Chain A
Amino acid sequence: MAKYHITTRINGDDVEFLCAPEQTLLDVLRDDLRLTGSKEGCASGDCGACSVMIDGRLVCSCLVLAAEVGGQEIETIEGMAEGDRLHPLQQKFLDFAALQCGVCTPGFLIAAKALLDRNSNPSETEVRYWLAGNLCRCTGYDKIVRAVLDTAADMRD
């Protein structure tokens, strides 16, 4: 079966790949481009572990066909730190112990960044509903929510 030739940008770099029609963006990121920071937890858009940004929109990459992303701007967890400087959310997750196993963490960080990019002063309720598409089974969410609220407060200062 013929493959599609896709040209896109990922974390600021021009990227070309070939994909089969049924391959998702997550499949291509992980299996072809070896960007394995985005995780597959369900392949049905329920867990958010594969969260990425496409043209500034938060999406589950398991629900996007790879063939759809030509010409778009994709941001993954691998592009979140700048050089050797962690994003404030990444640092806060470490300081607040907002992860245990860590498999959901990339998705939470991408989703939380998307929130703070839109709303620099979210309430606890806004954080909780924004992050309701990301499942964490370890932490009970408490330290994640605190980390996001505290990062927002820092970034406002």
Chain B
Amino acid sequence: MNCRTIKRELSAFLDEVLEANCATVVSEHLETCAGCRRELERLEALREALRSLGPVTAPDYLHHMLEMRLSNELRENWKTRLKEAWQYQWSRIRTTEGIWYLTRLAGTAMTFILFTAITAAMGPLYIDLQTSAPDRTVPLQQFRMNVLKNLGLLPLDAQRKPINPREPMLNDEYLVRFGQEVSRTGAAEDTFSVVAVVDRSGTAKIQNVLEYSSDSSLLSDFNDMISSARFRPASYNGRAVDSRLVFTFSKISVYD
């Protein structure tokens, strides 16, 4: 070993932590090398100087300062732990299945209640699927009549459309007007006669033509007139019955 290598090992040699064979080699070298011996002495002096630095005493108030910090820490720790415990419990509650289902059920129930309340406030509506789409809503009375009619439970009287006094009825006034029209437009001796059936609801339609007019438009006009209008039906013992009428138009005379 050369001096450079020996000098590297001197520190460990001084502290007696070298391996035995290595320590032997260093020791043998030191016996013959004054330079390395001087280095070892300097190391010893340094070590002694460090050892003699003396103790460093802590101030008396160190304990007091530590106590204060410890008290603060324990107080904060208590609050922190309480907060963490609460957060932990809440996270457990939130994730339990029971609470999950309960919240969902509560939401569903509230939705149902709100829907029912809103629907009741708006009033009942019935949808008649038989009628065309734009106007399917019908009043309740009409809906009931339709249902009973479809089921065949509607009484005969109720199946007739009730006579609305405000609706125009085929009466003498209409016939007179029509006759005047015939007189004005037709030939003086022109006459046409028809047989019409008036049912119990007052609806009339031509059954037979007894005498044609030279003006074919008169028959068409007459047909349009009685189709769109309604007769006051004939009655027998207070009940409406079907009847047959003969209409003869000849200048200003009208027979019924």
Q: Do A and B bind each other?
A: no
A contact residues vs B (CB 8 Å cutoff): none
B contact residues vs A (CB 8 Å cutoff): none
